[in-house]
Structure 1
Amino acid sequence: MTLSIDGFDQRRIPVNGGVGLNAAVGGAGPAVVLLHGFPQTHLMWRHVAVELAADFTVICPDLRGYGASDKPPERDAGTYSKRTMASDVLTLAERLGHERVAVAGHDRGALVAFRAGLDYPDRVSHLAVLDVLPTVDMWDVLHGADAAVAFHLYLMAQPPGLPERMIAASADAFHGHFLDLWARRPDAIPADVRAEYLRACAAAVPSIVADYRASAGIDVEHDRADRAAGRRLTMPVAVVQQDWGAALGYDAAALWRHWAPDLRHTTTSAGHFMAEEAPDEVVTELRALLAR
């Protein structure tokens, strides 16, 4: 049986090109969209969403290609570009009656949120990013042996065929590796939630790879064009990250400040899955952002 967020309704909403997104919706008030990361589904927000729903309408979709949302074939580079996925998310919000929303994203969802903020500054009131760098900056800082920590980025950047076959041959081991490696508190992802993540990922290998492949191609092109044009995030931005910069030799706050003049950047002692490992901390940061 598919797990759900307590007190939230499940909706299925058609967005771009007839792609249907599954979304959990709860609460009332100004809208906040929460976007999940890899290798997860919208369920990663189960603690944070319930807390925010006391004061906000909270919308937690599965991104295209993930969870119970549609998984269209990768027809071209744009199918899983973050520009396409950002448009999906804002179309979903509009069809739920919300023209202007705050957007928070973790990992892959944070890249979608970042693109939404750049492409639709009039529709994104506040932006929160959990534990990523913008795509172009991420590729810029990965180098040498230290880049081995991100081996999956290079694997899934390869042309269609080989990465899909390799991952599908041992999908649970592949996706479970990241759940184990990136969590500082393994108990934060209980057995039933872990099983849900692994089941959803095993059913979505081609679309997950396509999402990552886009981030080695068209997403970098979009970021480079925006960086060259001097485009910035005009809304208040909160970034919460682990201190990867110290290990990999870059200043994460400085990289983010280039994109976001109105920035609050903090580091956390939680692991990568901070919305599950330290939900109270994440809720505090999001509430502080939404009050700005």
Structure 2
Amino acid sequence: MTLTLMPEATYHRVPVAPDVELNVAVAGSGPAVVLLHGFPQTHLMWRHVAADLAADHTVICPDLRGYGASSKPAEEDESTYSKRTMAADVVAAARALGHGRFALSGHDRGALVAVRAGLDHPQAVTHLLSLDVLPTLDMWDILRGAEAKVAWHLYLMAQPAGIPEPMIEATADSFFASFLDGWTADPAAIPAQYREEYLRASREAVVSIVADYRASAGIDVTHDRADKDSGRTLAMPVTVMQQDWGAALGYDASSLWSAWAPDLKHVTTNAGHFMAEEDPGAVVAALRELMAR
């Protein structure tokens, strides 16, 4: 069975760069909202949220470059999978679908792309919702000592090309399943057919997924540092929803985010990492409240 975002969604292959197309699901009508998935998932993670929003919005759910059914270009250099490049993909896809301005929500890796889109394309992004990440620069700054073991995969996939890829490919299903199973507070939130689809899509994209993570230990840090040094911030209203990791790792997430987003609402959730599937009602409520600001 081929899984789709929802029965009424239409699918498009949208060219966004030379030899790069995004697989994009579109549903509903009205003001546009773009939803970006995280790791190790595809656009299907938004199925509940999209079903609600499509009642009065045009919902645009792409597979990010390197993920799902989107193109997986070879990593020519760090910029191939930089969040700047991936954000430009998203803006180009929305524009090609007729939406020059849109609200934007991202989860996990998609949230990093969303933040970069908000910084680089403030004329396009009207509102921004980030689910369960910290900005890249801050993330690396707070990972210290034994507590950093929670992010062991970041260090593995930051290694030079040719080292992490064969290691992950050799145990791909157990590698990716460890995150799907370990990061959720409610395993029933990801039914078997979706779990299997996420695993299939991920094991077919090991090289590009690693390239995405590798960029976050290099060029993405460079871009974030340049913005921080210049005082560049997110100009649009921003809501951040995340688990309360701060106490365990010794940081104040709200303060970190405030430095990037002057118009910020920060909320924590009791759901696990995959909150758009575990508690979609809370995510929808946060997104609707944000878009009303």
Equivalent in the alignment of 2:178: 177
Shift of 1:10: 1.1
Pairing 1:101-112 to 2, within 5 Å after superposition: 101-112=102-113
Q: Distance in 1 between matches of 2:54 and 2:182?
A: 31
Could you say which residue in structure 1 is the equivalent of 2:5? 5
Correspondences of 1:168-207 after superposition (within 5 Å): 168-207=169-208
Matched, 1:282 2:283: yes
Question: 1:29, 1:55 within 8 Å by CA — same for their partners in 2?
Answer: yes
Bigger drift between 8-17 and 161-170 goes to 8-17
Distance in 1 of aligned mates of 2:73 and 2:242: 31
| Counterpart code for 1:241 | Q
| Long gaps (5+) in structure 2 | none
Find the aligned partners of 1:8 and 1:45 in 2 and give their Cα distance: 12
Note the 1:1-292 alignment, pairs <5 A: 1-6=1-6, 7-292=8-293
Matching residue's letter, 1:198: L
Say whether the 8 Å CA contact 1:64–1:85 is kept in structure 2: yes
Paired residue type of 1:3? L
SS at match of 1:259: coil
1:29 positional shift: 0.5
Deviations, residues 20-54 of structure 1 (Å, cap 9, x unaligned)? 10011000001000000000000000000010000
| TM-score of the pair, normalised by structure 2 | 0.99
**Structure 2 CA distance, aligned partners of 1:205 and 1:74?**
12
CA distance in 2, matches of 1:159, 1:37: 22
Cα displacement (A) at 1:288: 0.2
Structure 1 Cα separation of the partners of residues 19 and 168 of structure 2: 28
1 CA distance for matches of 2:250 and 2:9? 42
1:18 CA drift (Å): 2.8
1:89-129 Cα shifts (integer Å, max 9, x gaps)? 00000000000111100000000000000001111100010
CA distance in 2, matches of 1:83, 1:220: 11
Q: Distance in 1 between matches of 2:267 and 2:28?
A: 27
Distance (Å, rounded) in 1 between the aligned partners of 2:21 and 2:2:
18
Runs of 4+ in 1 over 2 A off after TM superposition: none
Q: Determine if contact 1:2/1:196 at 8 Å carries over to the other structure.
A: no
How many Å separate the matches in 2 of 1:16 and 1:130?
27
8 Å Cα contact 1:131-1:239 kept in structure 2: yes
CA positional deviation for 1:2:
2.8
Q: Provide the TM-score with structure 1 as the length reference.
A: 0.99
Cα RMSD, aligned residues only: 0.5
C-alpha offsets along residues 161-202 of structure 1, whole Å, 9 cap, x if unaligned?
Answer: 110000000100000000011000000000000000000000
What is the alpha-carbon distance in structure 1 between the residues aligned to residue 94 and residue 82 of structure 2? 19
In 2, the alpha carbon distance for the partners of 1:2 and 1:243 equals 36
Separation of aligned partners in 2, 1:73 and 1:145: 34
How many residues align? The count is 292
Could you list the runs of 5+ residues in structure 1 that have no partner in the other structure? none
Partners of 2:40 and 2:267 in 1: how far apart?
A: 23
